[in-house]
């Protein structure tokens, strides 16, 4: 289904792989292999995705320090695979008003401490659709190389993550604002 979606839309496919034994199969169909937050320190999985040679999107773990996140990237890089993208997606803190705490410090610090591209996921980082736009704009201002935003034509009827998904209209309104911030900071 993923390769069919790519063929119909032309969009590259990013999908999560969760076990080392699935890496080869998933790499056949995905353009980028995602390591989710809960697997950031699954070192066998990190080494296997590294050996695949495929680009890897490494999400920061829920309770991981920035140093631990960067060291997890090193497991992939050590296999000879230079194609690693870091993703800040919010961390667990004592705050309960949002799903996670979006650590924009991590975006700027990872950019300084690493040569790797850094993207931000304000959808998971906040868990609230109305916070996605301001945090996405702030992430770009902090130096993020890209943004992951969940979008759904009818978020109230989404099977999962509707509360953090932008409607098509909200997404369309955000895109020129993101481009303006990116242009302003170059």
Least Cα distance to 139 among 105, 104, 101 occurs for 104
The pLDDT assigned to 54 comes to: 97
- Rounded-to-integer distance, Cα 96 and Cα 53, Å: 39
Domain holding 108: CATH number?
Answer: 3.20.20.70
pTM strictly above 0.75: yes
Q: How many CB atoms lie within 10 A of CB 152?
A: 19
Residue written as token pair 């998933």: 26
pLDDT digits (tens, 9 = 90+) for 103-116: 999 999 999 999 99
Radius of gyration of the chain (CA): 16
Per the DSSP assignment, residues forming a β-bridge with 84 are 56
Domain, as residue range, for 101: 2-185
pLDDT digits (tens, 9 = 90+) for 7-18: 999 999 999 999
> Which pLDDT band holds residue 1 (cuts at 50, 70, 90)?
confident
Dump the DSSP string for 137-172. HHHHHTT-SEE---B-SSGGG-SS-GGGPBPHHHHH
**Residue 119 half-sphere exposure toward CB, CA atoms < 13 A:** 15
Between strands 14-16 and 84-88, the pairing is unpaired
Q: What domain count does the chain have?
A: 1
């Amino acid at each position: 289904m993923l390769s069919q979606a790519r063929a119909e839309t032309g969009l590259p496919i990013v999908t999560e792989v969760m076990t080392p034994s699935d890496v080869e199969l998933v790499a056949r169909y995905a353009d980028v292999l995602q390591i989710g937050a809960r697997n950031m320190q699954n070192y066998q999985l990190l080494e296997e995705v590294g050996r695949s040679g495929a680009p890897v999107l490494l999400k920061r773990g829920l309770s991981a320090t920035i140093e631990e996140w960067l060291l997890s990237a090193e497991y992939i890089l050590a296999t000879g695979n230079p194609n690693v993208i870091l993703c800040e997606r919010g961390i667990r803190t004592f705050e309960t008003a949002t799903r996670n705490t979006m650590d924009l410090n991590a975006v700027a610090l990872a950019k300084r401490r690493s040569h790797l591209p850094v993207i931000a996921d304000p959808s998971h980082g906040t868990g609230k659709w109305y916070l996605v736009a301001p945090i996405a704009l702030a992430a770009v201002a902090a130096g993020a190389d890209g943004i992951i935003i969940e979008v759904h034509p009818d978020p109230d009827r989404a099977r999962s993550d509707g509360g953090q998904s932008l409607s098509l209209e909200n997404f369309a309104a955000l895109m020129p604002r993101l481009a303006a911030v990116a242009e302003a900071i170059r």
